[in-house]
Structure 1
Amino acid sequence: MNEDIKQYLKAHREPQLNQLKNFLSLESISSLSEHKDDVKKTADWVADELKAAGLEHVKVMETEKHPVVYGDWLKADGKPTVLIYGHYDVQPVDPIELWETPPFEPDIRDDKIFARGASDDKGQVFMHIKVIEAILKTKGELPVNVKFCIEGEEEIGSPSLDPFVDDHHDLLKADVLLVSDTTMVERGMPSVCYGLRGLCGLQIDLKGPKGDLHSGLYGGAVQNTIHALVELLGTMHNNNGQVTVDGFYDNVRPLTKEEIATYESLSHDDKMKKQVGVKELYGEEGFSTIARIWGRPTLEINGIYGGFQGEGIKTVIPSLAHAKISCRIVPDQKPDEIAELLQKHIAEHLPVGVTAETTLFDQAKPFITPYDHPAIEAAGIALKEAYGVAPTYSRMGGSVPIVETFNTKLGLPAVLMGFGLNEENFHAPNEHFHLENFDKGMEALIDFLYELDKKL
């Protein structure tokens, strides 16, 4: 099916990989202000590639922070319209010393391409652009109408996307949302993701004495701010892996019997231990590993800092201590309600001798869609054609905030066809993308567009 289009991709693979390297070399770190110009340069690069692929009405649209890149092809009269979403921004690269090759100097080895953004999400965005190019170059027309919305703020929680969608309802109107920013279950096992966890991020700042104190002169008389922080954080979990914040689980939607059985069958604990390099896994008691990742909420301490951190020792009682926390939430939890519960817990469990301030960060609502939707069925057919095996219908532990936004504001069902693998180190040093999924993924995306025309 569509062999001429796929042959085009094979014939142009090397120049496409060189183009991908150019994309990955752009330092589009959205969270760091010193890279603002790099982010804009990357938006311009994406716009140029959309034009070269044959998209029309391409424009770089400014927001409060970083631009959105839009383009479309709307000549398939009477056919459904697909809105393709992705992001061109990337995470910071720290710790830089753990990278085997520089993060913005893409390197291909072992049939993988290594660079920041290779898997999350530049590599997958690039695949969509090249699929459209291949179809237009070989067929002259697309089987469906297509719109692209590629943003530059996903890695900082997409703060500008909600107002952008509010202001551009007609521009973004479509029949289905297509996203490749999720993972496959494992290598050789494609998946269609029908659910995402949401996110609630928060920072705790504790303050004790007005300045650092000599531990000999004041030790035993003044609260140690780091001690207080550790004590406070220790009240947030019990020994069974459960979150002990009052009300945290009140609105959690229970997993279905079918989901519980599926997740148990996919929970290969020994493989995961080896993958992440630990002797034992840990999490909420009473649930399989995959159920805990995909269908249960969590509270994670992402960072703790304060006091003296230089070489040697400095005997002080620190004035300040800080922690960063993120909660992954599930249907029907709401990030603002979870934030309120956390703030209440902090106030009620604050040790003596310190004061606390909290700052809210990224927030995203969880998302779930019926996996018997025609667009989901089309994705399943396309993935089976490309990979030779039936796909798994899964949720994902991560968050893609804009998916819920598009569903709520535009009524769009979402098809999450991701081609990354959990082992690809996104958000970590030595991020990479398996090129076998670069190849098979584009074949699946081609077939999906043609299947969608039949299903909708």
Structure 2
Amino acid sequence: MTCQSTRAPNSPPIKSSSSRIYRQQSTSKSRVPPFITTPTKYSNSLSLGLLQIATLIVMDSMNLLTTLSSQDKESIMSLVSDYEVGNVFGGSQSGDIHVWSLYTFFPITRLVGHQSSVLCLTISIDRSLLFSSSGDNTVRVWDSRQFGNALYIVKPPNDNCGDVLSLAWCSRLNMLYLGCQDASIQWISLQCLKTHSLVNSSKNIEHDSNSKLHSGSLSPETSFIPELAGSSISPLLTTDGISHLIPSACSSPHLHSCRPVHHKFFDSLSQADLLKAARRRDSNYNLSPQSRCQVIDSRPGFKTENDQLERFSTADSIHVEGGIEVLFIENKDSISYAHFGYTYSLLLVNLNDQPFLVSGSGDATIKIWTVDLQTGALIRNSSKLLSATLSTHLSPSNPCSPGEEDLGAVLTLAAYGPTLYAGYQDGIIKIWDLDTFTCIRTLFHRESSLSRSINSKTMSDVLTITVLDNGEMFSGCSNGLVIRWDPSFHRVCEWVSHQGSALASCFISRQAKRLLLTGGSDNCIKVWDVSHANNMVSRLVSGEMEIKDPAVMAMAFQDRMFRHLSQFVSYRSISNDAHREECRQAALYLKKTLVKLGALAQLLPGEPGRNPLVLARFDGKSSSPSPTTSRRKRVLYYGHYDVVQAGDEKDWKAPAFVMTGRNGWLYGRGVSDNKGPTLAVAYAVTTLLEQRALDVDVVMLVEGEEEAGSAGFQKIVIDNKVLIGDIDVVLVSNSCWLGEETPCMTFGLRGVIHATVSVTSQRPNLHSGIHGGATHEPVLDLVRILGALVGTDGRIQLDGFYSGVRPIHEEEDKLYNEIVDHLTKSGNVGGSFQDSPITDIKEYLLAKWRQPALSLHKIDVTGPAHATVIPSSAQSAVSIRIVPDQSLEQIASSLEKFLQAAFKSLNSSNTLQVEINHTADWWLGDPKDAYSVAIGDCVEEEWGTKPLWIREGGSIPSVPFLEDEFNAKAIHLPMGSASDSAHLSNERIKMLNLEKGSNVVAKFLKKIAKI
């Protein structure tokens, strides 16, 4: 269902947001504001072609870094971020506030307490306070650093104020301002709140003094308005371009704070009564205070000092609800009819060190209220009329639209310098000059080509505006469209950000990252990179730009790395005959990318019918040789661009070959194995290259047949050894950590022998009812000889099989003890251990990593799979994992001899065939080697903890070969975590792991230049 803006001659009484309906009161029109309270999909008018166009626009203009999802299927109604610690808060339709980290993009916690939608969020960075307003008629105050229950509940002076739609915080005066559904503006001083200690996160989070979160407040340096500063006036910005300064009603100072018990729905004012009271207020400003109080007291349902019920006040007593102290706003701290419609938006601005409150309403007006510097109250005892001329700039990109002045509600406000941005219903944005109170520009959101294609004439209401620190503006509307405007108000680009409405947005600049966050009715927050990284990187690589800030440049490369990875993943580079062309295109794309990053790259042809290899070389720019050689050191990185089949698409949460980001994870086939780590290494090298800090040569050798056994790889390397050059160390990144949080270094891999064992009869398939028991059955023969491979004690029966296993040494034993201690303390023993017959953690790891093993994978038969058929042949896939110091050739020969002997003992008329399909030798590194120590130190420096040195039970055939061929040590840096699901559905990797993995490689390359 899509909520559309409509007109109604008469609106029902005020309802809560929980009723899913809003009706807007106004003197001339009544509209339904565009709050989407249920998850929505694209309307039927949005075709698949438009979706594809929107996707292309995103790729060309805005980089979607990741999606943050709360998993509760609720719209994100409001957003705010804490730039000091790097957290973002999202208020949901259900009433919960979700908290994510902008360092890892992982969910941290959720704040629970509101009983209805969280309509607005604002934050006090200096006091570590988070404020949330809701449709439950309350505001809650939270500790924004130490998460838990709300610190306070703030309640309006009467229950019929409706939903609290907007908030504004004045840190200078410690005042909180509330905009309500009953057209009132209220305020409360929080100066007396108890102080809260901040969480000292300096050990874990690097603070950026240049980080800024732009919430729309004006700087103290902006122009000063003497008329406003010297008097108590409230300018009213109307659609006719005239600034009217209208005083507001005040309540009697003698009124006691009372707490009437009213029902928010049944006791609320009708629209007629509301408008009459509002007009009475404006017509009685010349009356005495006592007369004005009589007018206010005559409101239906309002309880005066003579009523028996008295309001709890913080000055009189403490009221507690659910263990949380309640703060009541006093009647005097409220302007009952600040507008003729809902107070949708509030914004605090500072004009020459004087605070002013800006309010936008459903009556299509904007008011600017003077704030008393002593009390924080809105001053309302005088009026003055200012005149200004409308000056709307028209251009080809901003044509005049019929009926443009027929505006609806002011739904959102933002400010930058002396400029105020206001978003209206029907897709209009007005730009106001706060020096002169004139409208200087009118922008039309609905003039977008995408907006017209979506047929959104009645659903293009501007719901959110965010202005960046450079004056750029992003506006989002109810059809999900977001438009980027430059500081001169020209449309730069546009894209469909959400499948539904773009309800909220905020901007954060941190550690050279410039992120736009949008919350939508599709139950998620999307994180967009709004940095100008594309041009920066191309200029860096071409040498047109000098590096001045390495952090900025490194972040530019990381952001671009994710864009390249997204395109890299889109190639279905499955190493089989059906995908040869896709593999070739993937290789060409990788080559082109590496060339852009500053490498000399080429394709090396594979064997006939096999995929090509990508060979790239980055030359160090330093002329100084290595301390130990007469030349620069040369590092060979080995990786692969081919992937395994995706399997059943139904098992994937998103298309396997479309990279998607969710809560800090990147999903897609190949993101972990091995496209993601390969690009991370390439960007690490390029970062150093552009910093003029690459003092080693780096050769990247990326093959396309690793998942199919690396057929022909060794021959190609030997044939091109001169082109590759002398190698000092081989770098590999093709495995995962032991767990999720602690980084690891891999120093050992098992070898493998893959064999096919077949038993074939000379006769065709037979019927078991006719021939059963009277013939040698191939399946039975096969099962017998395979069963003989393993004894009843589980030991493999091949002659001399265990004699070559290297005994564990003291230093290695210490590494295992460290792993056991880590697993025990963390409680992360692993799910596979729980299902193992081995109950000791250490013995379990030894069995997985450094003990040989035999596995039977499947048995295939010929003929129909029918219970009465005796197949004429049967075959089985067998693998043996070998370890140091077993001989690959000896074990393969022993397997064949054992099976032949076992089959011979059967005296069968059938025929046995043993075929060795593929072999890979074991590999064992040395954690004490200089290169291993160097990269271990780099891991510790980047992650803040020492890595665990682990071994793997799998095999990578090219690693031992490259070591032997180039007489160079190999080191293995895994980037993925244990739950990456490589080769499985929903393969994924943490964005943080790729970023830090790239940083580790960069540190390592700098360090080894001095070895």
* TM-score, reference length from structure 2: 0.42
Are the aligned partners of 1:224 and 1:318 in contact in 2 as well (CA < 8 Å)? Answer: yes
> What's the offset of the Cα at 1:353?
4.5
Residue in structure 2 matched with residue 20 of structure 1 by the alignment? 565
CA spacing shift, 1:142–1:247, aligned 2, 3 Å: same
Identity between Structure 1 and Structure 2 (%) = 28
Are the aligned partners of 1:9 and 1:134 in contact in 2 as well (CA < 8 Å)? Answer: yes
Residue in structure 1 matched with residue 932 of structure 2 by the alignment? 376
> What's the offset of the Cα at 1:283?
6.5
For 2:890, the aligned partner's letter is E
Are the aligned partners of 1:115 and 1:431 in contact in 2 as well (CA < 8 Å)? Answer: yes
Q: Which of residues 884, 896, 903 in structure 2 aligns to 1:343?
A: 896
For residues 10 and 286 of structure 1, what CA distance do their matches in structure 2 show? 40
Residue in structure 2 matched with residue 357 of structure 1 by the alignment? 913
Structure 2 residue 950 is the aligned partner of structure 1 residue 407: no
- Residues 433-448 of structure 1 correspond to what in structure 2 (within 5 A)? 433-448=989-1004
> What's the offset of the Cα at 1:239?
3.7
For 1:142, the aligned partner's letter is L
Residue in structure 2 matched with residue 73 of structure 1 by the alignment? 618
Are the aligned partners of 1:195 and 1:369 in contact in 2 as well (CA < 8 Å)? Answer: yes
For residues 324 and 97 of structure 1, what CA distance do their matches in structure 2 show? 28
Residue in structure 2 matched with residue 52 of structure 1 by the alignment? 596
CA spacing shift, 1:281–1:5, aligned 2, 3 Å: farther
Q: Which of residues 170, 182, 186 in structure 1 aligns to 2:735?
A: 182
Which shows bigger deviation, 389-398 or 92-101?
A: 92-101
For 1:346, the aligned partner's letter is L
Q: Which of residues 787, 795, 805 in structure 2 aligns to 1:252?
A: 805
Structure 2 residue 844 is the aligned partner of structure 1 residue 301: no
Q: Which of residues 699, 707, 714 in structure 2 aligns to 1:147?
A: 699
Q: Which of residues 981, 989, 996 in structure 2 aligns to 1:425?
A: 981
**What is the SS of the residue equivalent to 2:584?**
helix
**What is the SS of the residue equivalent to 1:389?**
coil
- Residues 20-419 of structure 1 correspond to what in structure 2 (within 5 A)? 20-30=565-575, 32-56=576-600, 58-64=601-607, 65-75=610-620, 76-77=622-623, 78=625, 79-137=632-690, 139-172=691-724, 173-208=726-761, 210-267=763-820, 268=823, 271=828, 274=831, 276=832, 280-282=835-837, 288-306=843-861, 313-350=866-903, 351=906, 352-419=908-975
For residues 757 and 829 of structure 2, what CA distance do their matches in structure 1 show? 31
> Higher strand fraction: Structure 1 or Structure 2?
2
For residues 618 and 875 of structure 2, what CA distance do their matches in structure 1 show? 49
> What's the offset of the Cα at 1:8?
3.0
RMSD of the alignment, in Å?
2.6
For residues 853 and 659 of structure 2, what CA distance do their matches in structure 1 show? 34
For 1:157, the aligned partner's letter is G
> What's the offset of the Cα at 1:371?
1.9
For residues 251 and 286 of structure 1, what CA distance do their matches in structure 2 show? 24
> What's the offset of the Cα at 1:144?
1.6
* Bigger RCO (CA 8 Å, 6+ sep): 1
Are the aligned partners of 2:765 and 2:863 in contact in 1 as well (CA < 8 Å)? Answer: no
1:18-61 Cα deviation digits (max 9, x unpaired): 3212111211111x1111111111111110111011112x1101
Are the aligned partners of 1:203 and 1:323 in contact in 2 as well (CA < 8 Å)? Answer: yes
For residues 717 and 814 of structure 2, what CA distance do their matches in structure 1 show? 38
Are the aligned partners of 1:86 and 1:180 in contact in 2 as well (CA < 8 Å)? Answer: yes
Are the aligned partners of 1:335 and 1:363 in contact in 2 as well (CA < 8 Å)? Answer: yes
For residues 418 and 363 of structure 1, what CA distance do their matches in structure 2 show? 23
1:90-118 Cα deviation digits (max 9, x unpaired): 12233554333332222222322222222
CA spacing shift, 1:166–1:284, aligned 2, 3 Å: farther
For residues 649 and 784 of structure 2, what CA distance do their matches in structure 1 show? 32
For residues 818 and 873 of structure 2, what CA distance do their matches in structure 1 show? 46
Are the aligned partners of 1:156 and 1:362 in contact in 2 as well (CA < 8 Å)? Answer: no
For residues 588 and 892 of structure 2, what CA distance do their matches in structure 1 show? 37
Are the aligned partners of 1:260 and 1:291 in contact in 2 as well (CA < 8 Å)? Answer: no
**What is the SS of the residue equivalent to 2:914?**
strand
Are the aligned partners of 2:611 and 2:705 in contact in 1 as well (CA < 8 Å)? Answer: yes
For residues 158 and 445 of structure 1, what CA distance do their matches in structure 2 show? 25
For residues 304 and 89 of structure 1, what CA distance do their matches in structure 2 show? 27
**What is the SS of the residue equivalent to 2:1009?**
helix
1:292-346 Cα deviation digits (max 9, x unpaired): 1221111111222225675xx5421111212111222111223222211111111
CA spacing shift, 1:308–1:106, aligned 2, 3 Å: farther
CA spacing shift, 1:144–1:114, aligned 2, 3 Å: same
Consecutive unaligned residues in structure 1, runs of 5 or more: none
Are the aligned partners of 1:6 and 1:443 in contact in 2 as well (CA < 8 Å)? Answer: no
For 1:51, the aligned partner's letter is V
For residues 922 and 936 of structure 2, what CA distance do their matches in structure 1 show? 23
> What's the offset of the Cα at 1:287?
6.7
> What's the offset of the Cα at 1:13?
4.1
* TM-score, reference length from structure 1: 0.90
Are the aligned partners of 1:242 and 1:284 in contact in 2 as well (CA < 8 Å)? Answer: no
CA spacing shift, 1:120–1:217, aligned 2, 3 Å: same
Are the aligned partners of 1:46 and 1:69 in contact in 2 as well (CA < 8 Å)? Answer: yes
**What is the SS of the residue equivalent to 2:773?**
coil
Find the structure with the greater CA-based Rg: 2
For 2:581, the aligned partner's letter is D
> What's the offset of the Cα at 1:369?
2.6
For residues 94 and 212 of structure 1, what CA distance do their matches in structure 2 show? 32
CA spacing shift, 1:121–1:218, aligned 2, 3 Å: same
For residues 960 and 897 of structure 2, what CA distance do their matches in structure 1 show? 27
Pairs aligned (count): 448
Are the aligned partners of 1:5 and 1:135 in contact in 2 as well (CA < 8 Å)? Answer: no
For 2:706, the aligned partner's letter is E
CA spacing shift, 1:299–1:23, aligned 2, 3 Å: same
For residues 285 and 99 of structure 1, what CA distance do their matches in structure 2 show? 35
CA spacing shift, 1:105–1:300, aligned 2, 3 Å: same
Consecutive unaligned residues in structure 2, runs of 5 or more: 1-205, 207-510, 513-548, 626-631
